[in-house]
């Protein structure tokens, strides 16, 4: 068994969070930070994966202390800490409506800070399995071409954020919504990469200051 202290420091959950922020960590890595230690047979990261594998993603927030205590390696203290975190998150989010990006208009509204820019910005919205936004990230700034927008950069963030799907978008500083050949080619390239990685591209939206259009996928 590889102990967590044997994992390179830059790849340990706590160190990754400090350097990159919580959005860059997987669910297992976030849970590992809560658990802190593993067992004689499992390091803390593998114990976290074991917990997550035991429960369906949509039901894990409803588990009880007894459910967790039945897992070898989780005593009463660790089980209480996990349940307390879930409960705190539930209370903080109570009454807040999740942001769901389904239409090009939603994306246009979320790009208010970019759509009038004089520079071209390529943006990715990471979505979970219910099409709820996890995070928005600017991938590149400059003239849109295949060297600036590579599948590696687009899907690296999707994988790190455990995204089930993504929406890609960019602005046209010219104020013209007409598709360029680069728009079409990059879209095709990303769709192909998404199929290989099993990460669906919901849509590609082009925005200008007061309008938007969508490349049909």
Question: Which residue among 44, 59, 93 closes a domain?
Answer: 93
Rounded distance between C-alpha atoms, residue 13 and residue 159, angstroms = 16
Higher-scoring residue by pLDDT: 124, 144: 124
Same domain, yes or no: 134 and 44: no
Q: What is the tens place of the pLDDT at every residue in 78-99? A: 899 899 988 887 787 665 555 5
- What is the percentage of the chain residues whose pLDDT exceeds 90? 34
Question: Which residue among 43, 59, 93 closes a domain?
Answer: 93
Position 213 scores a pLDDT of 92
Position 97 scores a pLDDT of 52
Weakest-pLDDT range from 87-91, 102-106, 140-144: 140-144
Global confidence as pTM:
0.54
Position 21 scores a pLDDT of 85
Q: What is the tens place of the pLDDT at every residue in 105-133? A: 989 998 999 988 989 999 999 998 878 88
Rounded distance between C-alpha atoms, residue 189 and residue 64, angstroms = 45
Q: What is the tens place of the pLDDT at every residue in 23-73? A: 778 888 999 998 988 888 888 888 889 888 887 665 676 788 998 998 888
Higher-scoring residue by pLDDT: 149, 189: 189
Would you say residue 88 lies in a domain? Answer: yes
Position 6 scores a pLDDT of 62
Same domain, yes or no: 28 and 67: yes
β-pair type (133-141, 121-127): antiparallel
- What is the percentage of the chain residues whose pLDDT exceeds 70? 86
Q: List helix spans (H) across the chain.
A: 13-20, 27-35, 44-54, 65-69, 76-93, 104-110, 151-160, 181-197
Q: Which residue range forms the structural domain that includes residue 60? A: 4-93
Would you say residue 99 lies in a domain? Answer: no
Same domain, yes or no: 145 and 45: no
Reference 147, options 195, 108, 182; nearest CA is: 182
Question: Which residue among 93, 117, 141 closes a domain?
Answer: 93
Position 102 scores a pLDDT of 65
Structural domains of the chain, count: 2
> What is the pLDDT confidence band of residue 193, given thresholds at 50, 70 and 90?
very high
Same domain, yes or no: 121 and 36: no
Would you say residue 174 lies in a domain? Answer: yes
Position 59 scores a pLDDT of 66
Strand order in the sheet with 133-141: 133-141, 121-127, 165-171, 200-207, 212-215
Question: Both ends of the chain: CA-CA distance in Å?
Answer: 45
> What is the pLDDT confidence band of residue 147, given thresholds at 50, 70 and 90?
very low
> What is the pLDDT confidence band of residue 1, given thresholds at 50, 70 and 90?
low
Position 8 scores a pLDDT of 74
């Amino acid at each position: 068994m590889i102990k967590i202290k044997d994992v390179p420091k830059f790849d340990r959950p706590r160190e990754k969070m400090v350097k990159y922020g919580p959005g860059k960590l997987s669910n297992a890595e976030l849970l590992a930070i809560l658990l802190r230690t593993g067992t004689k047979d499992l390091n803390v990261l593998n114990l976290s994966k074991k917990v997550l594998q035991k429960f369906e993603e949509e039901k894990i927030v409803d588990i009880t202390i007894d459910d967790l205590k039945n897992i070898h390696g989780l005593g009463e203290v660790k089980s209480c800490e996990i349940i307390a975190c879930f409960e705190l998150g539930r209370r903080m989010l109570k009454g807040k409506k999740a942001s769901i990006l389904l239409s090009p208009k939603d994306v246009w509204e979320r790009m208010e800070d970019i759509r009038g820019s004089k520079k071209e910005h390529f943006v990715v919205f990471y979505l979970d399995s219910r099409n709820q936004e996890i995070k928005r990230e600017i991938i590149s700034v400059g003239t849109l071409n295949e060297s600036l927008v590579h599948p590696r950069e687009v899907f690296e963030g999707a994988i790190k954020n455990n995204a089930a799907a993504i929406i890609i978008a960019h602005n046209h500083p010219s104020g013209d919504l007409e598709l360029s050949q680069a728009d079409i080619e990059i879209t095709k390239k990303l769709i192909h990469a998404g199929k290989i990685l099993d990460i669906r591209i919901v849509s590609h939206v082009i925005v200008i200051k007061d309008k938007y259009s969508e490349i049909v996928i």
